[in-house]
Structure 1
Amino acid sequence: MPVPAKAAARNAKSDAAPDALSVLNHVFGLPGFRGAQEEIVRHVTGGGNCLVLMPTGGGKSLCYQLPSLLRKGCGIVVSPLIALMRDQVAGLLEAGVRAAVLNSTLSYEEASAVEAQLVAGELDLLYIAPERLLTPRCLALLGRADIALFAIDEAHCVSQWGHDFRPEYIGLTVIPERFPDVPRIALTATADELTRKEIVDRLGLGGAPSFVASFDRPNIRYEIVEKQNAPAQLKAFIAERHPGDAGIVYCLSRAKVEDTAAALNKAGIPALPYHAGLDANIRARNQDRFINEDGVVIVATIAFGMGIDKPDVRFVAHLDLPKSIEAYYQETGRAGRDGKPSSAWMAYGLSDIVQQRRMIEESNGAEAFKRVSIGKLEALVGLAETADCRRTRLLGYFGETPAAAKCGNCDNCLSPPVVRDGKVVAQKLLSCAYRTGQRFGAMHLIDVLVGRMTERVTQFGHDRLSVFGIGAELNEKQWRGVIRQVVAMGHLAADSEAFGALKLTESARGVLKGETEVMLREQAAGTRVRATRTKSRRGEIAPDIAGRGAAANPTLVGALRAWRSEVARKRGVPAYVVLHDATIDGIAASRPATLTQLRDIPGIGDKKLEHYGDELIALVKAGSAEA
């Protein structure tokens, strides 16, 4: 139980590892640490500062929750995410940890009660929004309290170069200034070298170690397809690969969010819209339904998802190109937090590049910021256009070299594309763009290349050019693929001021002279989504208990899920706060007959055993009798 464990830790000898493992098991029901967790916990518990980069679902929260229980005082967690605060506190309370929040959702009386608990030493963890922490009242409050540590979650928000910069995070420099002797741990799932440096500088972490876990999420299958009829492609993807699954669909505009949600509902897929233009009550209701109900798809702008702790999101789909690889990685990382097979699917086209580049160039950012943003966009386009393993390319962006050149779980590995010498084809395209005055977009260039006598072609006299019809060996779809790849290679650039007109870049000269190699990926035969459905849920052996040899009883899984839903409804918490899917699968697979056997299931700690043990054993016995 957490409070005795905390008291025991205060009286422990210098080696805190045994206490950490004991608390991990008794409070959280986990048999052991993953990756660098133990090293991080030992370091912070000993009073050290550090930066932690760990992928979504990799166990970042435990890296500050455990030291908060092991050290004297209350751990202060700075987070900009109200939803995450709420869910994590609910989960901690379920485990018997004394946790609370201080944010704008609390009334004055509620906030005052939490403040009193903090000063009285009655809290183990307190989650605070950054703007609240920076107020004179809150800083004075923290000065009177016994603080175990400061955890700055979503630390990339402090960087102007990050994909989710938040001005209020700049003020967090006050933490090392006012509390220099309290250990600080900064955590994020996504940060390139530039962002990491700014985190270290702003949060006073110079000289502190950085713990960088692998960015690999092997349970996620990455797939990027050519955008044709995106709504139809999305419906086919969900229907064939993820029927009945919870998922997130990202769109760039509010109108597209609502249209896509309506189209999915019409196709029999339960979908809800989420964007900043919706009434706050509707947004909150839709988010709660997504969190608490099974099989709901949320269609959203990028405003949705940060802080959503739902572990059983089986897919994340993008109908528009994100801004950067960091944004793509974080958004797709919301799939499969429980470690079970999941999908990251994206439909992408040339118009996405034009649109994103226009947004960057028309922004109010400084020129240096625009240059960095365009570089990040080009890196993402390179990921979308690569013919090699997508996972290798993705990990390489974050400075990680995977053990194998091919992951075996992305579209390029599962169905390797055919690559051919495209120098002549690229020369035809560049010549066409040049001879038409570099004033036209993709569709007009294709009309000229294939020899299509449109009104516009004849209006400008382009049917009399030497390039008219020189590309008739390829059809419109193939030329679209060529243009997209040549733009991705940087030989053509879309001019946002000229409505997407394609202009030659400096590197195009080498292609036209035959000095630059151009390898193009051929269009894959057909565009239908492969029906190799990922088996990922009901009746499957959970990863944490795989190898025990027992298969989960689907009837028992259903009974356990129904029981969980009812308990969650009565307690007013998300279902996964009561028990994770992996824990339910573990119970259904091993069918424990005693409380001791139930306690051995990962995810069943002392408090959950105390609260739910007898009911769960009764459900298992009833399910075994029916079987």
Structure 2
Amino acid sequence: METTLSHYFGYETFRPGQKEIISKIIDHRNVLGVLPTGGGKSICYQVPGLMLDGTTIVISPLISLMKDQVDQLNAAGINAAYLNSSMTQKQQKAVEQELLRGEVQFLYVAPERFDNGYFVNLLQQLTIPLVAFDEAHCISKWGHDFRPSYQEVIHKVFALPQDFAIVALTATATTEVQKDIMQRLNINKNDEIKTSTKRRNLVFKVNPTYQRQKFVLDYVKEHSDVAGIIYCSTRKQVEELHEAFQDQNIQSTIYHAGLSNKEREQAQNDFVYDRVRVVVATNAFGMGIDKSNVRYVIHYNMPGDLESYYQEAGRAGRDGLNSDCILLFSERDIGLHQYFISVSKADDDYKDKMGEKLTKMIQYTKTKKCLEATLVHYFEPNEKLEECQQCSNCVHENKTYDMTDEAKMIISCIARMKQQESYSVIIQVLRGETSDYIKYCDYDQLSTHGLMKDYTTSDLSHLIDELRFKGYLNEHDEILTCDASVKKLLNANAAVFTTPFKRKSKEKVSINTVEGVDKALFDELKSVRQQLSEQLEIAPVSIFSDYTLEEFAKRKPESKQDMIAIDGVGSYKLKHYCPKFLETIQSYKAQI
């Protein structure tokens, strides 16, 4: 397993969750993998697909996403292909013949391809060890990007005669969506692998500015040497912002559903191949991009739900380097999404669910709590929380109220209860309320009953949430328990601060930089990568990611042996790409 990873992809160890998912696939079990955006989901089916005989079928939602994946696999010396509507009959026939000869290791198709009887007949003749559902949240009606074709293809996949495993992969699935996917794909609860949604290289920021256009123009000018995506809610806003960039001589491209296929493809290629640094887009640009060195994603408008926001913001920093995710928010954004929901042709249950998601999105823009922890809590309510210390809420000096005494009262109350209880019961006891349940448990006899009677329910919810988000309290299925770290508080070795209620905040937004990199060498290596990209007609990041180039610029490897030890350098890339980079590094060192 590790040998395959190292040989083809240049990594010595797996990221969290990857090895567990691959092991289940090798054991011929259906599995659901929920990994963060940029967490290496594709490795989860690519490694077992290389280890098993036959052709792995990958069901993917977008033509552009298929092309990116196939280009990257081909760049690593792996035979992959796709079949989609953008191809000529001659091109499709050539791929079909390769499939019949057993030459294709990975075949990418959209779910609609299974409507073609000839294609299904072709599949029946192949050796298929694995079927992968990429972007699996599209399967669920409750997912943020539901596609009926993803549901309809499931029974056609199960009707194939081969005995294959199934893997479903997603980054943005709530607990409800995860259950739906597992039910539809016959995945056992024990075969779900989830890792934290945390991505510590992403710095989340909310900026309620009234001068959105000025903010974006200033930010892009300050970060002109890095790539970024700016999402707008409407085509009109995309066009207006693009014009503003042109007026300021800022080179950018646009992407929305109103453009022709050729125009959209040109825009994507210009961005992926580093011909332009900035793309202004609607969410039509969502899953269709796989560019690892995006240093910032700015949302010009608030999305309608946190799944969409996290999916789009997660396009930043997929190479693991520090990147900004900035949400510009205005109250007017709320009205737009309420209108979208009201005119939707969906049933009332679905509209209600979208309304609930919008409420959660609005709460994210207004919370004073850690933004990263807020996202983690939304996707996995039972996960232990901690403050990231880098989002706009964490770094803003607005937590001036010392709540250490209140924290001790709350912890003392929880510790005295005969069993683990929920938020509501704890608050009722602290406020001195009585109910049949409180009397039955003798909670009205506790010394902490009524200890905080002067606090409102809202006050206590705020204080308990603060302790939860700081990791002093843990939650599992809405039941609160004390974490071991509360001992520090009770022993007077720590203090807890929170925000005074209803205090407005403003934060200064800045991008983090990576230290220890020889910037001049890094720029030369990027130029080499660009030359190779144009020569080989593959995307720059398919050759080497920014992360790998930065490692080159830090370590200055002198031989292929030095290079193979760096993440992202596999055997194929070592042979075909590294000589030119080594030559550049040696020449650079000679001039110093």
What TM-score does the superposition give when structure 1 sets the normalisation length? 0.76
- Name the residue aligned to 2:151: 170
| Contact 2:224–2:277 (Cα < 8 Å) also in 1 | no
- Name the residue aligned to 2:570: 605
Judged with a 3 Å threshold, the aligned counterparts in structure 2 of structure 1 residues 227 and 180 are, in CA distance, closer, same or farther, namely: farther
Query: Could you tell me which of 368, 372, 378 is aligned with 1:387?
Result: 368
| Contact 1:51–1:208 (Cα < 8 Å) also in 2 | no
Distance 1:105 1:73 in 2: 25
Deviations 1:34-57 (A, max 9, x none): 111111111102211100111111
| Contact 1:392–1:402 (Cα < 8 Å) also in 2 | no
- Name the residue aligned to 2:518: 553
- Name the residue aligned to 1:359: 340
SS of aligned partner of 1:331? helix
Judged with a 3 Å threshold, the aligned counterparts in structure 2 of structure 1 residues 404 and 323 are, in CA distance, closer, same or farther, namely: closer
Give 1:572's aligned amino acid.
E
- Name the residue aligned to 1:621: 586
- Name the residue aligned to 2:62: 81
- Name the residue aligned to 1:216: 198
1:523 aligned onto 2:504:
yes
1:373 aligned onto 2:351:
no
Give 1:578's aligned amino acid.
I
SS of aligned partner of 2:333? helix
Q: How does 1:262-341 map to 2 (within 5 A)?
A: 262-293=243-274, 296-341=277-322
SS of aligned partner of 2:517? coil
SS of aligned partner of 2:283? coil
Query: Could you tell me which of 17, 27, 33 is aligned with 1:36?
Result: 17
Distance 2:41 2:88 in 1: 30
When structure 1 is superposed on structure 2, of 186-195 and 204-213 the one drifting more is 204-213
Judged with a 3 Å threshold, the aligned counterparts in structure 2 of structure 1 residues 27 and 394 are, in CA distance, closer, same or farther, namely: same
How much has 1:181 moved relative to structure 2?
A: 2.5
Deviations 1:290-313 (A, max 9, x none): 111166111111101313110011
SS of aligned partner of 2:285? coil
- Name the residue aligned to 1:97: 78
SS of aligned partner of 2:159? helix
SS of aligned partner of 2:15? coil
How much has 1:193 moved relative to structure 2?
A: 1.9
Give 2:211's aligned amino acid.
N
1:232 aligned onto 2:214:
yes
Distance 2:113 2:269 in 1: 24
Give 2:164's aligned amino acid.
V
SS of aligned partner of 1:339? coil
Query: How high is the sequence identity, in percent, across the aligned residues?
Result: 34
- Name the residue aligned to 2:325: 344
Distance 1:129 1:531 in 2: 40
| Contact 1:417–1:521 (Cα < 8 Å) also in 2 | no
Judged with a 3 Å threshold, the aligned counterparts in structure 2 of structure 1 residues 175 and 244 are, in CA distance, closer, same or farther, namely: same
Distance 2:316 2:522 in 1: 21
Distance 2:382 2:556 in 1: 41
- Name the residue aligned to 1:502: none
1:573 aligned onto 2:522:
no
Distance 2:571 2:148 in 1: 41
Judged with a 3 Å threshold, the aligned counterparts in structure 2 of structure 1 residues 402 and 412 are, in CA distance, closer, same or farther, namely: farther
How much has 1:104 moved relative to structure 2?
A: 1.3
How much has 1:573 moved relative to structure 2?
A: 1.0
| Contact 1:215–1:395 (Cα < 8 Å) also in 2 | yes
When structure 1 is superposed on structure 2, of 171-180 and 584-593 the one drifting more is 171-180
| Contact 1:214–1:400 (Cα < 8 Å) also in 2 | no
Distance 1:254 1:169 in 2: 27
SS of aligned partner of 1:63? helix
Give 2:195's aligned amino acid.
A
Give 2:29's aligned amino acid.
G
Distance 1:618 1:352 in 2: 52
Give 1:379's aligned amino acid.
K
- Name the residue aligned to 2:133: 152
Deviations 1:339-375 (A, max 9, x none): 1111111111221112211211121111100100000
- Name the residue aligned to 1:66: 47
Give structure 1 stretches of 5+ with no counterpart.
1-19, 421-484, 490-517, 541-550
How much has 1:183 moved relative to structure 2?
A: 0.2
Judged with a 3 Å threshold, the aligned counterparts in structure 2 of structure 1 residues 177 and 243 are, in CA distance, closer, same or farther, namely: same
1:181 aligned onto 2:163:
yes
Deviations 1:209-229 (A, max 9, x none): 111111011111111111412
How much has 1:106 moved relative to structure 2?
A: 1.6
Give 1:151's aligned amino acid.
A
How much has 1:279 moved relative to structure 2?
A: 3.1
| Contact 1:419–1:520 (Cα < 8 Å) also in 2 | no
SS of aligned partner of 1:186? strand
Distance 1:561 1:293 in 2: 10
- Name the residue aligned to 1:535: 513
- Name the residue aligned to 1:53: 34
- Name the residue aligned to 2:380: 399
Distance 1:214 1:204 in 2: 24
| Contact 2:252–2:276 (Cα < 8 Å) also in 1 | no
